[in-house]
Structure 1
Amino acid sequence: MSSWTWFHRLASPPSFFRLADRLAPWLGWIALALLAYGWINGLFFAPEDYQQKDAYRIIYVHVPAAALSLSLYVGMAVAGFVALVWRMKLAESALIAIAPVGASFTALALVTGMLWGKPMWGAYWVWDARLTSELVLLFLYFGVIGLWQAFEDPRAAARACALLAVVGVINVPIVKYSVDWWNSLHQGSTILKMGKPSITAAMAWPLFASVIGSYLFAGYVILRRLQNELLQREAGTAWVRELMGKSRV
């Protein structure tokens, strides 16, 4: 079987639905284990930071949320590009499934950043380059969600959302490199950078676990949302009727 044939089969809604049904539980359970390890060790057992004291512990929630806010937008833009070029229904559904999850993690990154900023900067919010560009990212997510709800035709809605997602991806490198390009109160990367992390192993391992666990959790939620989206869009097809018939048995 050629790679293109395999990709074509995977992209078909019934094939992807069955794959997601097998994969999602594994993602969910592994994510739960990693998050439990990361949060328990990071919030209660990791050593105190010599400068920020216990206030730094919010990184075990903030850093994964901030990383996901960027990664999920890139994933949404890739799905949007595929939807625009090849008109794939699966890509359109993925775009819509990712948007609320990405918006949630972006909002979480902003809220935890504000809570971290208060003891560090003396204010919950400053119009810093990193914070401002992250807020723009949240508005882009909201724009995609709003466009989806504004159209009655799902194909037309998906095209509009895809276009916004692709154009808006230019903000991702701005968020990522804002602390390097402009004078910023926001500190630089600690573990998500090239080279050796800037924190000790006792702090870093729970953070690694929290980041990976958060990515797996996001993957689990997106797969389940994508399954629901496929069921709604393919409601009249034979494979959905067959699936619904089996679920009633």
Structure 2
Amino acid sequence: MNWGWFHKLGSPKWFYQISGRWLPLLGWVSAVLLALGLAWGLGFAPPDYQQGNSFRIIYIHVPAALLAQSCYLMLAVCGVVGLVWKMKLADVALQAAAPIGAWMTVIALLTGAIWGKPTWGAWWVWDARLTSMLILLFLYFGIIALGQAIANRDSAAKACAVLAIVGVINIPIIKYSVEWWNTLHQPATFSIVEKPAMPAEMWLPLLVMVLGFYCFFGTVLLLRMRLEVLKREARSSWAQAEVARLVKEGP
């Protein structure tokens, strides 16, 4: 097996060049999917037979919650790559993704509270799913704080990687909390391996929104990583030439 592509990922210059080619397409795809999913889910999907129109918040809540968990899994993978293979670009990805994951967790918690008020009669309960999601937010905050508090970049990268790897144990707790404990939170809305409980006209726009959220995440992640790469490679000739080109072209 040719692992040349994997070793290329350790090159900031190669990453910057290849990511610049993918960004426009990824940005347009995310915009189209999000616009289509929102219009379809909020305007054309039928109301739920029990929750009425209040169920429509799932078109924001579910994608945000899924992305918040997936993003943390990515942080753990980046932590392993950074510790084992010493790839500095892994730390770039980790630091760039952590704030995005934190915001997705905040959105999931806020929309869950809005959903919970008419459904459960309370904005917040110390439910296993909600509590574990709150812990996920604190883990994100911890990684962001570590990355900013430790002056030495290598030491900060190691500390953030260790916290990301240790904290990943919370992800299966979030996923299986509704099965392990008696919780108010409902089970998964849909599963890849099981037939959706909702009719197609309700879960298809949700699938579009999930794909749109992930494409949006990829777009923002690449933008943040490219900026961080330019900062870290500021002394290299290619980075200086790129900054000069960007300044010359203007906004």
TM-score normalised according to structure 2 size: 0.96
Q: How far apart, CA to CA, are the structure 1 residues paired with 2:183 and 2:215?
A: 31
Shift of 1:8: 1.1
Q: Residue 221 of structure 1 aligns to which amino acid in structure 2?
A: V
2:36 paired residue number: 37
1:54 paired residue number: 53
Stretch moving more, 157-166 or 189-198: 189-198
Consecutive unaligned residues in structure 1, runs of 5 or more: none
Q: Residue 71 of structure 2 aligns to which amino acid in structure 1?
A: L
Runs of 4+ off more than 6 Å? none
Q: How does 1:173-192 map to 2 (within 5 A)?
A: 173-192=172-191
1:219 aligns with 2:214: no
Cα deviation 1:59-94 (Å, max 9, x = unaligned): 000000000011000001100111111111100100
Name the SS for the 1:242 alignment partner. helix
Q: Residue 105 of structure 2 aligns to which amino acid in structure 1?
A: T
1:24 paired residue number: 23
What RMSD, in angstroms, separates the aligned Cα atoms of the two structures?
Answer: 1.1
**Number of equivalences:** 248
Q: How far apart, CA to CA, are the structure 2 residues paired with 1:217 and 1:248?
A: 26
Shift of 1:194: 2.3
Name the SS for the 2:61 alignment partner. helix
Q: How does 1:1-249 map to 2 (within 5 A)?
A: 3-249=2-248
Q: How far apart, CA to CA, are the structure 2 residues paired with 1:7 and 1:76?
A: 17
Consecutive unaligned residues in structure 2, runs of 5 or more: none
Q: Residue 73 of structure 1 aligns to which amino acid in structure 2?
A: Y
> Contact between 2:9 and 2:89, CA under 8 Å: does it hold in 1?
no
Shift of 1:248: 4.2
Q: How far apart, CA to CA, are the structure 2 residues paired with 1:4 and 1:48?
A: 50
Stretch moving more, 187-196 or 104-113: 187-196
Shift of 1:239: 1.6
Shift of 1:58: 0.1
Shift of 1:97: 0.6
Cα deviation 1:112-149 (Å, max 9, x = unaligned): 00000000000000000000000000000000000011
Identity of aligned residues (%): 54
TM-score normalised according to structure 1 size: 0.97
- From the superposition, tell whether residues 57 and 107 of structure 1 become closer, same or farther in structure 2 (CA, over 3 Å): same
Shift of 1:111: 0.3
